[in-house]
């Protein structure tokens, strides 16, 4: 697993991940809690935005949080120490493909598989770490589920740049729709997947700001330099696409996006 994270390891990306986690916490973590004393592996903790949700919603768990980026891991440690100083977290700088043989009651991944060139191999490897009867929970987005008003081909083009660049780094921005078969084919039992839909308009200002602006548009903007350097868009075309996309966050605009959450067992 490489560290060519398509969105970049920047302060702006850290803010975006934080805004995303806070805005979508109830939507994405609904139904996910682990008994005190459970040993839980968070495979790919990033900057700790989801780690905070895990330790505050499941107090008393023994969490092992793994991250391949040392910089992100340091930010995750600081974040959890500030918000949940009593949480029991074993922080590890490691590649999730090369974890030592251990046993866990549960495994949790959020926004990780989309960046991996071989998600099947990752899921197969993680299955070997789960105790019999253990669970894996996977959450992913699907950029193909983004639709918005007013419609705009220029806005859609900049979104497509993000998906195409992610594919070039070995990822899949449309992976959410295939979580169920991915987990089933990796050997998990009783796999259940469900959509987690976000819809925002001016009657839901917290979602317009927290998701449409600070999560989705910010995510697209994170690849601006790469897209222009690759010749996908000119600076003027990029600016026009973002202006049109921002209309979805203005009065009269609407935005829709679907995440997918799947749970499997061993």
Residue 9 pLDDT grade (very low, low, confident, very high; cuts 50, 70, 90): low
Which conformational region is residue 251 in: left (phi greater than 0), alpha (psi within -120 to 50 degrees), or beta?
A: beta
Sketch the domain layout of the chain as residue ranges: 11-265
Output the pLDDT for position 17. Answer: 67
Q: How many residues can be counted in the chain?
A: 266
CATH of 11-265, one of 3.30.2000.10, 3.40.50.2300, 3.40.50.150, 2.60.40.10: 3.40.50.150
More confident residue, 266 or 6: 266
- Residues ≥6 apart with Cβ < 8 Å to 78: 48
| H or E element at residue 219 | helix 218-221
Q: How far apart are CA 89 and CA 51, in angstroms?
A: 9
Give me the pLDDT at residue 96, please.
Answer: 93
CA distances (Å), origin 154, targets 46, 115, 222, 245: 31, 25, 17, 8
Q: Helix (H, G, I), strand (E, B), or coil: what is residue 130? A: strand
Q: Residue 22: its pLDDT value, please?
A: 83
Nearest to 14 by CA among 96, 93, 73: 73
pLDDT for residue 63 is more than 50: yes
pLDDT digits (tens, 9 = 90+) for 107-144: 999 999 999 999 999 999 999 999 999 999 999 999 99
- How far apart are the C-alpha atoms of 114 and 174, rounded to whole Å? 8
- Which H helix or E strand runs over 236? helix 235-246
Report the alpha-carbon angle 152-156-162, nearest 5.
155
For 13-36, how does the pLDDT look when each residue is reduced to its tens digit (9 = 90+)? 767 767 777 888 899 999 999 999
CA distances, 126 to each of 21, 42, 99 (Å): 24, 11, 9
Closest CA to 65 of 75, 76, 53, 79: 76
**136-193 residue pLDDT tens:** 999 999 999 999 999 999 999 999 999 999 999 899 999 999 999 999 999 999 999 9
pLDDT in the model for residue 2: 44
**Tens digits of per-residue pLDDT, 203-241?**
999 999 999 999 999 999 999 999 999 999 999 999 999
DSSP line for 54-92: HHHHSTT-EEEEEES-HHHHHHHHHHHHHH-TT-EEEEE
Residues 228 and 3: their CA atoms lie apart, in Å, by 21
In a 3-state reduction of DSSP, which class is residue 93?
A: strand
pLDDT of residue 1: 42
Query: CB–CB of 7/175 below 8 Å?
Result: no
CA within 13 Å, CB half, 90: 10
Q: Note the pLDDT tens digit of each residue in 87-114.
A: 999 999 999 999 999 999 999 999 999 9
Question: What CA–CA distances, in Å, run from 156 to 28, 200, 243?
Answer: 25, 18, 12
Per-residue pLDDT, 130: 98
């Amino acid at each position: 697993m490489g560290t060519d994270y398509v969105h970049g390891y920047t302060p702006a990306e850290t803010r975006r991940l934080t805004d995303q986690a806070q805005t979508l916490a109830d939507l994405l973590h609904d139904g996910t809690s682990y008994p005190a004393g459970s040993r839980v592996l968070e495979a790919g903790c990033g900057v700790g935005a989801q780690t905070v949700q895990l330790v505050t919603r499941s107090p008393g768990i023994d969490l092992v949080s793994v991250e391949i980026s040392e910089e992100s891991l340091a930010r995750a440690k600081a974040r959890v120490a500030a918000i949940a100083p009593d949480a029991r977290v074993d922080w590890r700088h490691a590649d999730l493909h090369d974890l030592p043989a251990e046993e866990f009651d549960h495994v949790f991944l959020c926004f990780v598989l989309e960046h991996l060139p071989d998600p099947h191999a990752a899921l197969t490897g993680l299955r070997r770490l789960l105790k019999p009867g253990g669970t894996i929970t996977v959450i992913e987005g699907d950029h193909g589920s983004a639709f918005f008003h007013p419609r705009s081909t220029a806005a859609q083009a900049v979104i497509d740049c993000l998906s195409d660049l992610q594919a070039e780094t070995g990822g899949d921005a449309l992976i959410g729709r295939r979580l169920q078969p991915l987990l089933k084919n990796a050997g998990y039992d009783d796999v259940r997947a469900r959509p987690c839909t976000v819809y925002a308009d001016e009657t839901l200002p917290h979602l317009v700001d927290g998701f449409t602006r600070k999560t989705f548009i910010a995510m697209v903007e994170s690849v601006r330099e790469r897209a222009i350097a690759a010749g996908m868009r000119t600076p003027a075309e990029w600016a026009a696409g973002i202006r049109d996309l921002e209309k979805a966050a203005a009065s009269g605009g609407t935005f829709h996006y679907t995440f997918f959450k799947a749970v499997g067992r061993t």
